[in-house]
Amino acid sequence: MSSSASAAPAFAVADVPKKSAVTTAQIVTVIFLGLAMALYFWVDSRYPSLMKKYHAGHAVKAAGAISFDAILPVNPTMPLTTRIVRTSGNWLYTNRIGMSFGMGFGALLLTLLPMFARRRFKSGFANTVLGVAAGAPLGVCANCVAPIGRGLVQAGASPNTALATMISSPTLNVVVLAMAFSLFPLPVAITKIATVLALLALVPWFAPKPEPEFACEIPQSAAAGSAVVLFLKNLAKMIAITLPFMVLAGVLGAILAEALPSSSLPAHVSILGIILVALIGAFLPVPMAFDVAIAFVLMSRGVALPYVVTLLCTLGCFSIYSALIVGKSLSWKTAGKMYGTVAALGIVAGLVTAAWSGF
């Protein structure tokens, strides 16, 4: 892949045993680690947090420009550099738990999937559906799911599955959907769902063609122990690749959010304004359910509905962090297509809203 050439190594599954060398103890050990990791994250952190936001109803708030938490106070009187540094810190703090899970679970998938002979279907549609089924309950935002997508790609899963997982996790979570339908007029919530479904339908278009599945042999030691060691190695590699991109994405998101705050949205709706909002929404790396929360807050403050809908349909679906990881793991062409598609769907949603709402 030109984008292909740089992407080729992403499909090479390194440091994984051949199927014949894999033992039941290894598979069970890795599955147990995965279940323990997921249940701890879901029960102790993610779903209690999402339910708290859902029950907050119309009182839902966002303390930071791109985060729910603001442990470092930020106000407009501060110098721009100070605001960027503090907003970046708040974003990293908000995403610390979700990103830890994303990196760990991505490394776990990279360890587990190559232990099986089949990691994908022949049908691109079936691989996309598999990604939707895997992503919807994950409960991680467009940023924290990116390492999971990378793990899927490196483990030999279909690119369709990886991209569909990355799209569905932040957008098709049942609690986030319930928030959208409870906070917005029905046409707005339906528009949000329609853009997500359209994005998923286009996955076969921007997903690169996968290379053949294969596995490499490594020396085997104690059955269960070697699986744990392999997981730790994969985790170290995952952190080394994704953590620097995480910091970079936080800084870039903070620069954009502080340079163009939501208060700068014009009162008059224009096509150019909708395009600008869509491009910003598809770029900003926001946490889980932040798109619904901030869009509702802006609507409550009287921001024009076309801008609100455009932001709702772009913010949280994709981000600069997702783009960096997709570019590194698959191809920069794929990352560009995804960003452009999310922005384009947001523009369409904004224009349709402007038409039926009379703006």
Q: What is the pLDDT of residue 209?
A: 78
Q: List, for residues 83-113, the tens digit of each pLDDT value.
A: 999 999 999 999 999 999 999 999 999 999 9
Q: For 43, which DSSP code?
A: I
Q: What is the pLDDT of residue 16?
A: 45
298 pLDDT more than 70:
yes
Q: What is the pLDDT of residue 124?
A: 87
215 Cβ contact partners less than 8 Å away, ≥ 6 residues apart = 13, 16, 17, 18, 19, 114, 156
Q: For 15, which DSSP code?
A: S
Q: What is the pLDDT of residue 22?
A: 62
Give the C-alpha separation, 32 to 52, whole Å: 29
Q: What is the band of 213 on the pLDDT scale with cuts at 50, 70, 90? A: low
Q: What is the pLDDT of residue 212?
A: 56
12 pLDDT more than 90:
no
User: Helical H runs in the chain?
Assistant: 2-7, 24-41, 47-56, 80-94, 96-112, 124-135, 146-154, 159-171, 174-183, 186-201, 203-206, 223-259, 271-283, 290-300, 305-314, 320-329, 332-357
169 pLDDT more than 50:
yes
Q: What integer is the mean pLDDT of 167-177?
A: 96
Q: Which two tokens stand for residue 46?
A: 């993610």
Give the C-alpha separation, 219 to 15, whole Å: 9
Q: What is the pLDDT of residue 13?
A: 45
Q: List, for residues 316-349, the tens digit of each pLDDT value.
A: 999 999 999 999 999 999 999 999 999 999 999 9
Q: For 315, which DSSP code?
A: B
* Short-list 321, 253, 283, 292, CA closest to 89: 253
DSSP codes of every residue in 47-91: HHHHHHHHHHGGG----SSS-S--SS---TTS-HHHHHHHHHHHH
Find tokens 């479904």 and name the residue: 197
